[in-house]
Copies of this chain bind each other. A is one copy, B any other.
Amino acid sequence: MPEYRAPLADFEFLLHDWLNVSEHYAQIGKDDIDADLVNEIITQGARFAESEVAPINQIGDQQGCTLKDGKVTTAEGFPQAYQSYIENGWNAMLGSEEYGGQELPYSVAIPVHEMLVSANVSWRLVCGLTESAVLALEKHGSDELKETYLPNLISGEWTGTMNLTEPQAGSDLSLLTSKAEANDDGSYKISGTKIFISGGDHEWTDNIIHLVLARLPDAPAGVKGISLFLVPKMLPDANGEFTIENDLSVGSIEHKMGLHGCPTCVMNFDGAKGWLIGAPHSGLACMFTMMNDARFQVGLQGTGIAEASYQGALTYAKERLQSRAPQGVQQPDEKADAIIHLPDVRRMLLTQKALTEGSRALGLLYAKQVDIVRFGTEEEQAKAESIVAYLTPITKSFFTDMGQEVSQHGVQIFGGHGYIQEWGMEQLIRDSRITQLYEGTNGIQALDLISRKLVRDGGRMLQNTAALFSDMINAIQNEADKNMALEIQQQWLAGSESLMSGDAFDTASRAYDYMQFCAYSLLAICWLSMKDRAAQTGNDQLASSKAKTCDFYIKRLYPRALMHKAALGDSGEDLAALSLEDF
């Protein structure tokens, strides 16, 4: 397994030099957070991820989780790492101060989250879902529910889960059939089966708080008849101690391609006691509160896994001696040259590096906007919200596709050894594959982007996002790079605006190409901006690395944007043309 070292230098460059977060924190009323504090947090996060979370990643893949006598046990070291995580306050970074949280900016927490994913995505996933549950509860829960559940969820004393999917209801939640019936005491009786429940059970904590989508008896059909319920594994007794087992159980642990360290459960609710979160039939709206965060967090898994794969491949490419480089012998004292000198290996490594660092940059830019949504003025909030809305499906789908591509290159660079489990590289392909599927498949994300965030929105989100990128472009000092960024921006806007008309089928036909076109365009602008900013840091090594990687990106990856743009002019006629028999 490649040893993971957090990319602290890149985080520091992005946060301080590229995004100037100190100024930003002052603007959103977080002036107590200075550069030293930020660096201290991410350095401690790096230490924790490297030394406590990464070492159990392969163990989790090998041991998986077991279900015995109705109880789930995770791999060796997983509960201990979680205990350390909550004792050191990592779970409380984002929770509200009122309930014991630290209310840190998202842009401080995201680097730590990325590191945890690089170190061990299975382990991190369970922690991450608690954060989603906290968000939903903070926004929509009654004061009583908040007081009862938030402190322990924020501290991490308890974990949270999301129970959405049912066998017949995946992308289409309107088909869900789990039921909720009112009890006399204001609580509800929840019945139904949920599948793919990450962290559905485990031995890490004494209680697990399930958020469950179900239908009330009088619910209208479709998505407007779904309500959200809080259903704890352990219920409070008369003394307020959580000693009573609720009527819910783990049906089985799913057998998955990867993510073996994460207990993904089939959950059976057999009249389990729960409480309504938000108004009746507003479950989907409550879920939407978490949606941006949950989807971006999945996107971040793509970046984190990509970083892990790049690191592993880079180390190997420097050490593996095989053949002589075509440009001439590089290591005359060795029997062969390291494969990093081979052009095709460099092509793969640079693809990994350019995609990973580009996605990290766009992700932190996104996180800065989330900070404004949370802590900005009302006017700033509205603008930032629309940028976040536009970028969410892009980060979720592109970062995860990118994570898969980068993991594939990582295995390829290892040659046959990449296929052998002991090296740890193939695990990254298997672990990252889920990220393209859950929290809405990437096809669903692309459709969300083009139909809801572009066409139906009439371009408002697009314009706000463009304004943010214009600021970035205007700050570029190198004229040639600035003009190139402007040209890329104009292509992106023109391509987007050309899609405003068209029927629903044509629009859906263009969705995937549009998502990719946007992502490769925005990453190109980020790269040109990073290159420019790096040149001003006085750090020659950084400037050289960013400039050359930027050049590679523009030359070899940005053309993908243009290929996808060319496809946008077409209708979906060719897709509609086939009858079922033609397939």
Residue A438 interfacial (CB < 8 Å): yes
A262 nearest CB across to chain B (Å): 12
Residue A335 interfacial (CB < 8 Å): yes
Using CB atoms, name the residue of chain B closest to A434: B419
Using CB atoms, name the residue of chain B closest to A447: B344
A342 and B426 contact, CB distance less than 8 A: no
B429 and A257 contact, CB distance less than 8 A: yes
Bound together, the chains give a CA A94 to CA B400 distance in angstroms of 45
Residue A343 interfacial (CB < 8 Å): yes
The contact of A583 among B314, B421, B511, B575, by CB within 8 Å, is B314
A575 and B350 contact, CB distance less than 8 A: yes
Using CB atoms, name the residue of chain B closest to A425: B257
Q: How many A residues are at the interface, by size bracket?
A: 35 or more
A318 and B196 contact, CB distance less than 8 A: no
Residue A171 interfacial (CB < 8 Å): yes
How many chain copies?
2
B171 and A505 contact, CB distance less than 8 A: no
The contact of A419 among B174, B415, B437, B556, by CB within 8 Å, is B437
A148 nearest CB across to chain B (Å): 32
Q: Which residues from B are CB-within-8-Å of A447?
A: 344
B326 and A505 contact, CB distance less than 8 A: yes
The contact of A327 among B172, B504, B566, by CB within 8 Å, is B504
Q: Which residues from B are CB-within-8-Å of A438?
A: 416
A170 and B416 contact, CB distance less than 8 A: yes
Q: Can you list, as one digit per residue, whether each of A322-335 has a CB less than 8 Å from chain B (1) or not (0)?
A: 11011100000001
Q: Which residues from B are CB-within-8-Å of A552?
A: 574-575
Residue A560 interfacial (CB < 8 Å): yes
B575 and A346 contact, CB distance less than 8 A: yes
B323 and A171 contact, CB distance less than 8 A: yes
The contact of A340 among B195, B346, B442, B583, by CB within 8 Å, is B583
Given contacts A433-B429, A567-B559, contact A343 B576 (CB under 8 A): yes
In the complex, chain A residues 195-212 whose Cβ is within 8 Å of any chain B Cβ: 195-196
Using CB atoms, name the residue of chain B closest to A579: B544
Given contacts A257-B419, A257-B421, A433-B419, contact A342 B508 (CB under 8 A): yes
Q: Can you list, as one digit per residue, whether each of A415-448 has a CB less than 8 Å from chain B (1) or not (0)?
A: 1111111100010011001101110011100110
In the complex, chain A residues 242-284 whose Cβ is within 8 Å of any chain B Cβ: 254-259
B415 and A404 contact, CB distance less than 8 A: no
In the complex, chain A residues 558-583 whose Cβ is within 8 Å of any chain B Cβ: 559-560, 562-563, 566-567, 570, 572, 574-583
A437 and B416 contact, CB distance less than 8 A: yes
A578 and B171 contact, CB distance less than 8 A: no
Using CB atoms, name the residue of chain B closest to A438: B416
Q: Which residues from B are CB-within-8-Å of A437?
A: 411-412, 415-416, 418-419
User: Beyond A256-B420, A346-B576, A419-B437: 10 further Cβ-contacts under 8 Å?
Assistant: A257-B430, A318-B580, A340-B583, A347-B512, A416-B438, A429-B433, A544-B582, A548-B582, A556-B567, A556-B574
5 contacts between A and B (CB under 8 A): A344-B446, A344-B509, A346-B576, A349-B583, A549-B578
Q: Which 4 A-B pairs have the closest CB atoms?
A: A326-B504, A257-B426, A343-B509, A255-B421
